Structure 1
Amino acid sequence: MEKSNSEAENKVGKNLHFRRYIIWFWSLFAAGILFVLLIFLMAARGAFGPMPTFEELENPEVNLATEIFSSDGETLGKYYKENRTPVKYEDLPQNLINAIVATEDERYYNHAGIDAKGTLRAAVYLGRKGGASTISQQLAKLLFTENVSGNTFERILQKVKEWIIATRLERQYTKEEILTMYLNKYDFIYQAVGIRSASKIYLGKEPKDLKTEEAAVLTAMLKNPSYFNPMKEEFKNNAFRRRNVVLGQMERNNYLTVAEKDSLQQLPLVTNYSPQDHDEGIATYFRVYLQKFLLEWIKENPKPTGENYDIYRDGLRVYTSIDSKMQQYAEEAVDAHLSNLQKEFDRQNKSNRTAPFRDITAEEKNSIVNNAMRRSERWRILSNQGKSTEEIKNSFDVETEMTVFTWAENKRKDTVMTPRDSILYYKSFLQSGMMSMTPQTGEVKAWVGGIDFKHFKYDLVKQGTRQVGSTFKPFVYATAIDQLHLSPCYKMPKSRHTIEAGTHGIEKDWTPKNSGNDYSGMISLKNALAKSVNTVTARLIDRTGTIPVIDLLRKLGINTENIPPAPSIALGSAEISVYEMVSAFSAFANEGIHVEPVVVNRIEDKYGTVLYQNVPKTRDVLSKETAYTIVNLLEGVTQSGSGTRLRGNWATDVPLYKRAMTGYPYEFENPIAGKTGTTQNQSDGWFIGMVLNLVTGVWVGAEDRSVHFPGIAYGQGATMALPIWGIYMKNVYADENLNISSGNFKRPDSVSIATDCDTFRQEVENEFQELPAELDFYFFMFQNQGDFKERLVN
């Protein structure tokens, strides 16, 4: 009996103990649940750091790059703090979406932000069989949380915040929107922020054009954009293996067949690296000018809130006038000619003791180098570090490893030289500025500010000004024709002409010289301009005065503040930019109407709202008849003057290195109006060429005027600059999509000024049977047949 009671008591005690255990278990479990809920509640209320508000979830802050578009829809470049340009879900290819879902979040469409199955698996296996972060959680981390490198508790708290934000994002956005936001936010490194930048930079194409194996390459990088980067040589194998893992996941999730997977996994890893660095790509000099344009524009055009737009964060879309193909042809033309011309220039400098300079002393050479040293970045940095002048100077004589510009294929060369020698090295390069625009609309189609923006930052289209030589003469002729109603047939003597001191404000006599010392006989204005006869131009400006010429320049868009009213400007002593020269010449091709150059057609915000629409700024400068007469004169330059090498078949049998002088086989047969220009000592070579709907100006020279060819054969504009125009236009005409005219310039309905001198003379001689010899000179002084007949009758 006692034993039975004892067993009963033990059994009751065990039951009580078990009940206490159960109570403690569920109490602890409940406490754990409450603790977790408390943690989530506290995290949601910001106890462990700020959480995004409803407004922030609705409009997450994202830095968007301003994208620059060409007139034919190509991306020229971007301005950014983060190189991110968003895409819409409908612009994402299905193979990319499939790859990402299959690899990053298999149950993406079946959960509400947290994958319970994946989380449990990660907890049981401690992450050895994969993590549990959903795409929504990864987006939450990118948008609103930061990487935590602290202890385990901090990492747990961060994960809690990600879960909360992920569920809120799921309530706020659709699955498609979340996936798109994630891909637009992710940083693929190498300045590729977002899927569009990554696709363009790593593969050279828009996301919508990605092949399945290419989509897999970008998806592979989502795990770790550095370790699985296809552009890093040491990680290419990692990228290849990870790409194949992605393809395997796509097959596992029925997005690919086994055969498709096996076939794609055998393909090599192919990339097309197209960096979008500010120093790379096309139209680099133009993009710098455009950047300044936009920064000025935003000052005068604030947002409705009163804040200024930020071109580095607000995702503006800038539609420019530049044509990507014409820009490409322009850059290729500069490279093709100058790389060739530079070889000849270097050859002629081999025996030059003051190379690359000429006509200066050794002391003057040292002075140029010392001034360049003081203006250099090296001098500025060392000076800010407190180095003495002597220490800084000495540093320029220490050999240093550096990468310099070269005309080799990639334009880069690793070498060792002293900074002083590098100054002389860079001074020796011939440079070029080139601009092309449509005269009727003012749209700038191509802009080449130099030979390589990475090493030569100075823009030689808008920023740089140089003496223009004989390309200035058409302005004098235009003034004379407009004022005096002279015909291109009008003859003038080539003899010396002196403008005396006191005339036109000059202090001493001025007597210009003709090339080749040719001063005999008479010459028509058309031939005088074609042959660039200086004395004829001097006679014209003597008759018109300098002020009317400068007034014409101002109306044509040229800054005349630093152009003195001296007769010598007639021969091109004025310093003018390529931008201004092309702008001014365009009025001749546009029937006397000057249209201010246009670089931006339209600006939109990130939503597509138009913020700026260009309105052409025009001004009537010359009559249609005068403008047409000038074009007729300029056509003579390519028919019988310095521009004739554009005609016929030049240099087909000439070695390549000599073509720098003789030209290329251009064989143009269409109407071309143009003017070459060469300055004193061959320091500057110019050519401005026009067809009906395109005006293009080219300048070639070196940074310092004392760096030049020793003789006129290579140093003239017809050799230095004209070939660039010829190469460019050959490519432009070959591209029929550009619709560049090869037709005649537009002739006004009524033209009283005789432009076809041979026809005009024949008509008069036919009517009068014989033109009196003593009247031969006077014949050319009249503008039309009627005037001359009247004089003969009287």
Structure 2
Amino acid sequence: MAKKKTTTPKAKVEDFSKYIRWFWILFTTGILSFVLLFLLASWEVFGEMPDHTVLENPRTNLASEILSSDNKTLAKFYFEDNRTPVDYNELPKHLVDALVATEDIRFYGHSGIDARGTLRAVFAKLTLRDKGGASTITQQLARQLFVGVASTSTISRLTQKIKEWVIATRLERQYTKEEIIAMYFNIYDFGNNADGIRSAARIYFGKEPKGLDIKESAMLVGMFKNSSFYNPRPHRNPVGTKNRRNVVLYQMAKYEYISLTVKDSLQKTELDLNYSPESHREGLATYFRAHLTKIMKDWIEKNPKPDGEKYNLYNSGLKIYTTIDSRMQQYAEDAVAQHMPRLQAEFDHQNTPKRNATAPFLELDNEEIKSLMRTGMKRSERWRHMKYDLKKSDEEIIASFDKPVQMDVFAWKDGKYTEIDTIMKPMDSIRYYKSFLRPAMMSMDPLTGHVKAWVGGMNYKHFQYDMVKQGKRQVGSTFKPFVYATAIDQLQMSPCDSLPKSPITIEANKYGNPEAWTTKNSNGKYEGFQTLKEGLANSTNTLTARLMNEVGPEPVVELAKKLGIEQDILPVPAIALGTPDISVYEMVGAYSTFANKGVYNKPVLVTRIEDKNGTVLYQVQPESRDVLSEEAAYVTVNLMQGVVESGSGRRLIHNTQSKETVYKEIITGYPYELKNPIAGKTGTTQNHSDGWFMGMVPNLVTGVWVGGEDRATHFGSITYGQGASMALPIWGLYMKACYADKTLNISKGEFEAPLELSININCDEFTSDDNSEDEDDDMEIDF
């Protein structure tokens, strides 16, 4: 019989120690493997990793920000990323609380990796009870900044996770918890061009981040899960976004950041969006921003970085401080939006096909209209795209303009801008847009040259040609003060000096005049005399022509050049009535010289430029020059005060007028009843094609122009087609709004007189023998 084998205690100990050895071998191997993975990731075996320099300055596209003089963000320049970073102290506490409660409750206790959360996630996956990942806020930031989204393969996802861990630990060593929070909010894409928390707060709620309330913060934090899916806009996923917001509110209550009562109350509320898209064609000061683009590109070309690299307007994070006042800009745009629909309604009423077979054109035959339309076709974006992008032949392009296509067109409806979805031939759309009267307006502080408001048109999306700087139109009688100022400066003439109203003929060859030139007054009145003040107030053509005959055209042209008029002006007598084409920009600069005691200040648009770190790259150096004596400038202003006191601008200060019922439908906001001293000049060009008003108070000069794209688009009579009806109402509405805003401090005082005034301006003893209420502004030029 075999003897039974027995196990001694010593053998049992040896067997157990074997398991202990294997445990430590496996444990050590696991630790070493984990460390090796970290080292391999650090050695960039799994792909490129950011070095110390990159971690200190993560490369993100930062939009360049346009700031107003009252420190409001007007807009941003960006291609893909509309991102402007904010500091941690600009984030409300409940926004940070919402993020931590929802995304990483142990954020303040770990060093980039949440071991407890990671083990929980691994166990959940092994037991097929996946409840989501365990990425910390720092890991998510690492992914956003440096890693990106991996493919769906297990290997790629694993290597991505390892890289995230490595970068997260580096970020924790490099930055404070508060800096990591701020970076995460700044880097995230919230959709709809809302890159970063500042853009998101402005676009979804019309606020700066500091102004967000709890439920708004909860909605934005909820979007971190997937901003593409949780899109709050109507017709996207507002219900899902609201549900996700309520989850965030639940998490905040769970971790006692808010009470259950507050949570229950807020979960019942709607999202209450104030959706304010930020695009290059929408928002405030669109025409100004388009012009600023050209200024900045020119500056960037001439001012490289110290290393020779060029700044990028769209991703370098520049801060551009402008002179535009956001309040005044809004009042200017509001004034245009109030007046233009009424003016357009009257124009459309007068230019129906029954009343005018060539509408919207007047005095053109069919061949002239065809030529005008062909020119419009070749200037269109459609022609440019087909010609140069698609390389189509001229015949193909022309044929396409007669094929109906779907389009959104501009329209005024119930006094407001709207878009009409319609089907129209492109050629018909060109004619349709030519039927609209268009405005332009610029407002400037004459003492500094700072431009406060810039309105180049009524809707940048549909009318992109900027009539403030690009457009140059005949200025009509607004040129006459240049003639009067020359006479005052050279001949020491007084506003009280009288001249006959009778016609005057300037013979051929005098002042280089090719033919004899005779002026007419549009009211047909020539008897008697008028003082210079009355002559300018009533815009009497014959008086201006007599002054031109006295001083000659060359000195007038020379003065205009000194006043900032850029283009060449032919020195002939006819310029006295405003034949030159001049921009609103130039006219405002010129008139500002009169208000600024004879000193011209070149209009200033940008005061300084900073880089993303706040380093000043550019500081404005004002350009100014003496043009007129203080006395001549003041006397010219005094003359223009007569225009408002008793001339074509009188409806600004009076509330009764015998003919006002004729204008009541288009003189928006009348009566204006402005009680303070105002100097100004209306202007109306031949055939009533252009209406102007230039208005001044001591610390603000504003010019307004209204007219059609083509001079053949105009009113049929001076009743509506004069500067006092087309342009002056915009000025009146704008100034009423500016005066109502007491924070602006727009002057209501007198224009300051020189200490020594040798020219007599007290004309009380002189009386007018012409009480006509018609504006004698229409240029009547006979050669």
- The two structures have a TM-score, normalised by structure 2, of 0.93
Deviates more, 1:702-711 or 1:298-307: 298-307
Partner in structure 1 of residue 724 of structure 2: 718
Within 5 Å, give how 1:383-398 maps onto structure 2. 383=387, 384-398=389-403
The CA deviation at 1:584 is 0.3
Q: 1:390 to 1:302 in 2, by over 3 A?
A: closer
Within 5 Å, give how 1:136-535 maps onto structure 2. 136-350=138-352, 351-383=355-387, 384-408=389-413, 409-535=416-542
Q: 1:760 to 1:456 in 2, by over 3 A?
A: closer
Q: 1:730 to 1:663 in 2, by over 3 A?
A: closer
Out of 681, 692, 701, the position equivalent to 2:687 is: 681
The CA deviation at 1:19 is 7.7
* One-letter identity of the residue aligned with 1:420: M
Within 5 Å, give how 1:742-753 maps onto structure 2. 742-753=748-759
The CA deviation at 1:632 is 0.8
Partner in structure 2 of residue 770 of structure 1: none
CA distance in structure 2 between the aligned counterparts of 1:101 and 1:210, rounded to whole angstroms: 17
Deviates more, 1:37-46 or 1:236-245: 37-46
Deviates more, 1:343-352 or 1:224-233: 224-233
The CA deviation at 1:338 is 0.6
Contact 2:486/2:556 (8 A) holds in 1: yes
Deviations 1:665-686 (A, max 9, x none): 1112211110000011111000
SS of the residue 1:68 aligns to:
strand
Aligned-residue identity in percent? 58
Partner in structure 2 of residue 99 of structure 1: 98
User: Would you say 1:612 and 2:627 are equivalent positions?
Assistant: no
The CA deviation at 1:399 is 1.9
The CA deviation at 1:25 is 6.6
Deviations 1:167-222 (A, max 9, x none): 11011111111111111111111111111111111111111111111110110111
Q: 1:320 to 1:506 in 2, by over 3 A?
A: same
Out of 696, 700, 714, the position equivalent to 1:694 is: 700
Contact 1:661/1:713 (8 A) holds in 2: no
Within 5 Å, give how 1:634-649 maps onto structure 2. 634-649=640-655
Q: 1:657 to 1:189 in 2, by over 3 A?
A: farther
Partner in structure 2 of residue 117 of structure 1: 116
Contact 1:587/1:594 (8 A) holds in 2: yes
Within 5 Å, give how 1:37-116 maps onto structure 2. 37-81=35-79, 82-116=81-115
CA distance in structure 2 between the aligned counterparts of 1:99 and 1:300, rounded to whole angstroms: 46
Partner in structure 1 of residue 762 of structure 2: 756
Deviations 1:443-471 (A, max 9, x none): 11111000101111111111111000000
Partner in structure 1 of residue 584 of structure 2: 578
The CA deviation at 1:519 is 1.5
Partner in structure 1 of residue 770 of structure 2: none
* One-letter identity of the residue aligned with 1:389: D
SS of the residue 2:764 aligns to:
helix
* One-letter identity of the residue aligned with 1:97: V
The CA deviation at 1:759 is 4.9
Contact 2:139/2:167 (8 A) holds in 1: yes
Contact 2:548/2:576 (8 A) holds in 1: yes
Contact 2:56/2:174 (8 A) holds in 1: yes
User: Would you say 1:709 and 2:715 are equivalent positions?
Assistant: yes
* One-letter identity of the residue aligned with 1:364: E
* One-letter identity of the residue aligned with 2:640: L
CA RMSD of aligned residues (A): 2.3
Extract unaligned runs of 5+ from structure 2.
768-783
Contact 2:708/2:714 (8 A) holds in 1: yes
Contact 2:663/2:720 (8 A) holds in 1: no
Q: 1:393 to 1:494 in 2, by over 3 A?
A: same
Within 5 Å, give how 1:727-746 maps onto structure 2. 727-746=733-752
CA distance in structure 2 between the aligned counterparts of 1:574 and 1:80, rounded to whole angstroms: 39
Partner in structure 2 of residue 778 of structure 1: none
Contact 1:432/1:449 (8 A) holds in 2: yes
CA distance in structure 2 between the aligned counterparts of 1:656 and 1:36, rounded to whole angstroms: 88
Contact 2:142/2:167 (8 A) holds in 1: yes
Deviates more, 1:72-81 or 1:389-398: 389-398
Partner in structure 1 of residue 565 of structure 2: 558
Deviations 1:349-372 (A, max 9, x none): 102111111111112212222222
CA distance in structure 1 between the aligned counterparts of 2:397 and 2:311, rounded to whole angstroms: 42
Contact 1:513/1:534 (8 A) holds in 2: yes
Deviations 1:316-350 (A, max 9, x none): 22221111111111001011111110001111110
Deviations 1:620-679 (A, max 9, x none): 111111111101110111111111111222589988984316971111221111000001
Contact 1:70/1:323 (8 A) holds in 2: yes
* One-letter identity of the residue aligned with 1:182: Y
Which has the larger share of helix? 1
Contact 1:652/1:665 (8 A) holds in 2: no
Contact 1:340/1:657 (8 A) holds in 2: no
Contact 1:188/1:225 (8 A) holds in 2: yes
Partner in structure 2 of residue 776 of structure 1: none
Deviates more, 1:287-296 or 1:325-334: 287-296
Contact 2:339/2:668 (8 A) holds in 1: no
Deviations 1:403-429 (A, max 9, x none): 111123453222221111111111111
Partner in structure 1 of residue 775 of structure 2: none
CA distance in structure 2 between the aligned counterparts of 1:582 and 1:645, rounded to whole angstroms: 21
CA distance in structure 1 between the aligned counterparts of 2:249 and 2:324, rounded to whole angstroms: 41
* One-letter identity of the residue aligned with 1:292: K
CA distance in structure 2 between the aligned counterparts of 1:21 and 1:653, rounded to whole angstroms: 110
Contact 2:667/2:729 (8 A) holds in 1: no
Contact 1:113/1:134 (8 A) holds in 2: yes
Contact 2:595/2:751 (8 A) holds in 1: yes
* One-letter identity of the residue aligned with 1:638: V
- The two structures have a TM-score, normalised by structure 1, of 0.92
Contact 1:192/1:198 (8 A) holds in 2: yes
* One-letter identity of the residue aligned with 2:140: Q
Partner in structure 2 of residue 2 of structure 1: 2
The CA deviation at 1:270 is 0.9
Deviates more, 1:350-359 or 1:681-690: 350-359
Contact 1:682/1:708 (8 A) holds in 2: yes
CA distance in structure 1 between the aligned counterparts of 2:658 and 2:265, rounded to whole angstroms: 50
Q: 1:459 to 1:473 in 2, by over 3 A?
A: same
Deviations 1:37-62 (A, max 9, x none): 33322111101110000111111112
* One-letter identity of the residue aligned with 2:403: V
Partner in structure 1 of residue 603 of structure 2: 597
The CA deviation at 1:578 is 0.3
